[in-house]
Amino acid sequence: MHSKRRTIGYIIVFVALLGLAYYAYNSLSEDYPSDQEKKVEERTSQKGTETKAAPDFIVFDKQGNDVKLSDFAGKPVVLNFWASWCPPCKSEMPHFNEVYGEVKEDVAFVMVDLVDGQRETQTTGQKYITEQGYDFPVYFDNEQQATMAYGISSIPTTFFIDKDGNIVIAYQGAIDKETLQNAIQLLTKDI
């Protein structure tokens, strides 16, 4: 009987601590911007500071033709690394497709499927894109050149590259439509 009371007491204390942690997290979240918001704000406030040149690489279109990042010189680029087995990648793709439809005349989208030949193949990546009805151009990193050039260790990862070939901002993890649009605004501000 005494041990039941003690166990119930521990449960009550544990639930109270969880409630307190939840309340504290929500209170602090309202006061502090997310990492994605910080990155956009930091880049906006650093306008005119030193930028990093985007490394060039070769990927392949669905017909097997070489495509270089430098082929898009003179145009802002949204460079996204993804795979069809990746749930966070899948969650952001509708946003990319929608925004691509809105800005495709002014901004190049380079959606790079990380093909490893086992978990992800060109066939599985292309099948996924076709089944979902996405319109953005997809390129396949069959030789892992792009992956190595950008040091990709997790996906999705997105780089925003200005018309001069400089990385303006980058995000690791899935991004939402608003973040995508805000980053593109940074790229197209001077166009």
Instruction: Give pLDDT tens digits for 77-123.
Output: 999 999 999 999 999 999 999 999 999 999 999 999 999 989 999 99
Q: Which two tokens stand for residue 57?
A: 């690489």
Please tell me the pTM assigned to this model. 0.75
The confidence score (pLDDT) of residue 145 equals 94
Instruction: Give pLDDT tens digits for 124-176.
Output: 999 999 999 999 999 999 999 999 999 999 999 999 999 999 999 999 999 99
Q: Alpha-carbon dihedral of residues 78, 88, 92, 183, nearest 10 degrees? A: -40
Architecture of domain 35-188: 3-Layer(aba) Sandwich (3.40)
Name the residue among 69, 102, 92, 89 with its Cα closest to residue 179: 92
CA 52-53-59 angle, to 5 degrees, is 130
Q: Where are the domains of the chain?
A: 1-32, 35-188
